[in-house]
Amino acid sequence: MTPVAPAAEPAESATALGLRACERDLDLYLSDAMAVFGTSALGIVHLPRLDASGLARGELRAVASLYQCAQLEKAGLPGFVEALAEKLATGRLVVMMDEGATRLMRYHRGRHERHTAAERRAIYSRLFGGPGFDDPNGAFDGQLLALIQALRPLSGLAPGPAPAHLTTRVAAAGLSLTGGLGGRAAGATRFDAERILAHIQLTIRLLTDADIAGALGGGNPLRLITLHAPHILGEPLDPTPHVRRGVEGAQVLRWLADHLAEVRSGAVPMRTDDPVVNHAWAWEAA
């Protein structure tokens, strides 16, 4: 495949969008799965539950990566590039490009090898609610908000051990969220997350290609989406709040994944200046 050249202007990198953390989530899930199922886990698409007693750390880490992908979907990734390539392929959009057009056409021809927009919606709906799946997890938004709001009061306290009554509230909110996810986090969660993440990374590489970005007026992927969403997607879109909420919310879910045992015990030993408190604040502010 022809290497994709970087844009002249620094673009929103995979690191800036938090995608490296998503890769680590999936590596951790695979490591945990191999600890349970051995090397056979490498070839299993629909993994059984890692822990029959409840949600496992690796499963919730994979959910965190998919939460971030779901928010990037709202930010126009990969949908903006799907629509751009489709319009170019069908002649509904004429843009002066050289190699960039070839790359977009190649991307469009490979669309049947990736999750469709409807398939992605169904995956997100199953975990996070909203339309797309016949049994959506409609309680997720409220449960995540409750966890965020349980963490937020810690930000106003002096650095030190968090009061027990507040950590008990955090544990209760975390337990509710993990209980709502239940067995939804098992199965093909890692497989789906891996494929969707790879698709998003591909669309970022396309939007940071010098020829493609230049033909669209230049700038990083979020600027290009903001500038061209009205005529590519049919409506205005500000991707930045969705990107921020995805990054911060995923960090809260990762923290929860790493403290499942404490959450189940009913109290989470933590400090008021724990980084997760800042992530909760930033999620709410996005």
214-254: pLDDT as tens digits: 999 999 999 999 999 999 999 999 999 999 999 999 999 99
Q: Taking each helix axis from N to C terminus, what angle separates 117-128 and 57-74, rounded to the nearest 10 degrees?
A: 130
Task: Report helix, strand or coil for 209.
Answer: strand
| Residue 102 binned pLDDT confidence (cut-offs 50, 70, 90) | very high
Q: Is the pLDDT of residue 10 over 60?
A: no
What is the mean pLDDT of the segment spanning 9-38? Answer: 81
| pLDDT surpasses 50 at 7 | no
- pTM listed for this prediction: 0.92
The residues, ordered by sequence, that sit 6+ positions from 141 with a Cβ below 8 Å of its Cβ are 128, 129
The CA–CA distances, whole Å, from 145 to 152, 154, 174, 280 equal 10, 15, 10, 9
pLDDT at 179 > cutoff 80: yes
14 vs 160 pLDDT, higher one = 160
Give pLDDT, residue 285.
95
Least confident of 2-6, 75-79, 96-100, 282-286: 2-6
**Residues above pLDDT 70, as percent of the chain:** 94
Backbone angles phi, psi at 185, to 5 degrees: -85, -10
151: CB partners within 8 A, 6+ apart: 170, 252, 276, 277, 280
**Is residue 6 predicted with pLDDT exceeding 60?**
no
Domain boundaries, the chain: 19-285
> pLDDT per residue over 124-175, tens digit each?
999 999 999 999 999 999 999 999 999 999 998 999 999 999 999 999 999 9
> What is the per-residue pLDDT for 255?
98
Dihedrals phi, psi of 224, to nearest 5 degrees: -65, -40
DSSP string, 48-83: PPS-TTS--HHHHHHHHHHHHHHHHHHTTTTHHHHH
**The pLDDT of residue 133:** 95
Span 95-103, average pLDDT: 91
